Amino acid sequence: MAGELLRAEHINKAFSGVLALQDVQFDLKTGEVHALLGENGAGKSTLMKIISGVYTRDSGDLSIKGEKITHDLSPHSAQALGIGIIHQELNLCPHLTVAENIFLNREFSYAAGVLNKKKQNEAARQYLDQLNLDIDPATPTNKLPVSKQQMVEICKTLSMNAGIVIMDEPTSALTEKEIEDLFSVIAVLKQKGKGIIYISHRLEELSRIVDRVTVLRDGKYVKTMNFADTSLPEIISLMVGRALTEKFPRIETARGEKVLEIKNLSSPHGVGVKNVSFELYKGEILAFAGLMGAGRTETVRAISGADKMSSGEIILNGKTLAIRSPRDAINKGLFCAPEDRKRDGLCVRMTLAENITLPSLDVISKLGVIINKLEEEKSAAMVNSLKIKTPGVNQYVRNLSGGNQQKVVVGKWLMRNAQVVIFDEPTRGIDVASKIEIYNIINDLKKTGIGVMFVSSELPEVLGISDRIIVMCNGKITKELLTKDTNQEEIVRYATQY
């Protein structure tokens, strides 16, 4: 068919007997943005990995630009066919520079085969400029925050001039401004007749770019629709299999005594924070709002011992603490579930059970020896209560879907008895129904009298579940608000108050 870039039909894929995709279909036309939607573990990334040659399909038909693909694709041959993919979990080589990552395996050389760094950096600069990115191509990527790393991945696909561009949750780590830039780039790609497959759990943003949507549920094809002919409630009920009524479960409890006090905290790391002071009460949910780079992550990193603070005081239950490391913080009752789960939160080469019990080795060992049965019992209970979708607790974490990996991070810290639990973007990449599960977990912590802090870039969520909001901008607190007395506009005003 004219204008058809891609057609996949009757695709099946199993992982060690577990069906990840069953008789799935999907197609893409030139110049369209086709969203692929579904809950965590629905099979979205698996389908995209089949199309981009990362996985081979067990059976099914695949054609690209009208041509039947009879052989197994490899990442290399898929790339040669014009398929570019930005993976959900960042895939850059951390020690290489931005330019080296963009041109990995396609390096700029002189005739003699010697790398031409200058030319390569200049070429990288051009793609960075297209996205209005102020990043030095010579920076090692591990020095960049998650948001910038994601943009480097997008630049990499741009540089390959792919006809089919797959974006697996490209905006989950981006600021509003970066999302704007991305959407303008997508508009340009569309005009050039490229097809974009767009995966996102941020359903509110779809209306701005999407032409068609396809919904998967439990590895099965549900429906393809023109976006103009459907609605978010319809999409959500197709994804979840039922209508969702309450997006933000809220529980009202009286706030207890002061559990944590932060006085004049400053930290030189990252974007830096200056003189941050606030209080947290038992049974209270305190949200940290602000734009990316406001200093929210830096604040929680300093409190949880991940970064060394340059000055300030942390007072837990009336006692001043000296926190030397995250482990030290945990021992004292302060827990933090970090922002970048792959870098800071998870050992993807270990099993789910090993990850969940890692901070709690004392709980599952006797005389210094890990009791496997205890490890399995404790982690199975956590899998149950968080509804983590996995064939078993001995599954490797790298094989879990993105959202389910996030739940493992949360589960790790819930294993311990905490006084204060800090979440940094806990629902990033998590589907609508699982978000509610995370909110319920946060509410459960609140009910038991734990003080909860959470950093979030999604204002509906901040307003939906917090009791109080601290707004940050440029490393400083610009305002403290009571959730019931404020609104989105007011938060944005203080978040952009330079």
Who's near 306: CB < 8 A, 6+ residues apart?
A: 326, 336, 338, 344
Identity of the residue, 89 or 377, whose beta carbon is nearer to ligand ATP in the bound complex? 89
- Any contact of residue 401 with ligand ATP (CB under 6 A)? yes
Query: Which of the choices Mg ion, ligand ATP, none does residue 43 contact, using the CB cut-off of 5 to 8 A by kind?
Result: ligand ATP
| 154 vs 170: CA distance, rounded Å | 8
Helices within 196-251 (DSSP H only): 232-240
Identity of the residue, 190 or 217, whose beta carbon is nearer to ligand ATP in the bound complex? 217
Query: Which residues between 29 and 68 bind ligand ATP (CB under 6 A)?
Result: 38, 40-46
In whole angstroms, how close is the CB of 44 to ligand ATP at the nearest point?
Answer: 3
Residues 298, 422 contacting (CB under 8 angstroms): no
Identity of the residue, 199 or 289, whose beta carbon is nearer to ligand ATP in the bound complex? 199
- Pick one of 382, 388, 400, 409: the residue that binds ligand ATP (CB under 6 A): 400
Here's the x/- map for ligand ATP, 70-109, by CB under 6 A: it reads as ------------------x---------------------
Identity of the residue, 193 or 241, whose beta carbon is nearer to ligand ATP in the bound complex? 241
Query: Which of the choices ligand ATP, Mg ion, none does residue 411 contact, using the CB cut-off of 5 to 8 A by kind?
Result: none
Closest Cα to residue 258, out of 314, 301, 312?
Answer: 314
Query: Hey, CA dihedral for 362, 367, 368, 372, is it positive or negative?
Result: negative
| 10 vs 25: CA distance, rounded Å | 6
At CA 411, angle to CA 171 and CA 149, rounded to 5?
A: 25
Virtual CA dihedral for 259, 263, 266, 272, nearest 10 degrees? 60
In whole angstroms, how close is the CB of 171 to ligand ATP at the nearest point?
Answer: 14
- Pick one of 15, 108, 183, 278: the residue that binds ligand ATP (CB under 6 A): 15
- Any contact of residue 195 with ligand ATP (CB under 6 A)? no
Identity of the residue, 43 or 283, whose beta carbon is nearer to Mg ion in the bound complex? 43
Residues that bind Mg ion (CB under 5 A): 45, 88, 402
| AA identity, residue 117 | K
- Any contact of residue 389 with ligand ATP (CB under 6 A)? yes
| 101 vs 97: CA distance, rounded Å | 6
Identity of the residue, 162 or 397, whose beta carbon is nearer to ligand ATP in the bound complex? 397
Residue written as token pair 């981009």: 52
In whole angstroms, how close is the CB of 45 to ligand ATP at the nearest point?
Answer: 3
Residues 127, 102 contacting (CB under 8 angstroms): yes
Binding residues vs ligand ATP (CB under 6 A): 15, 20, 38, 40-46, 88, 389, 399-404, 431
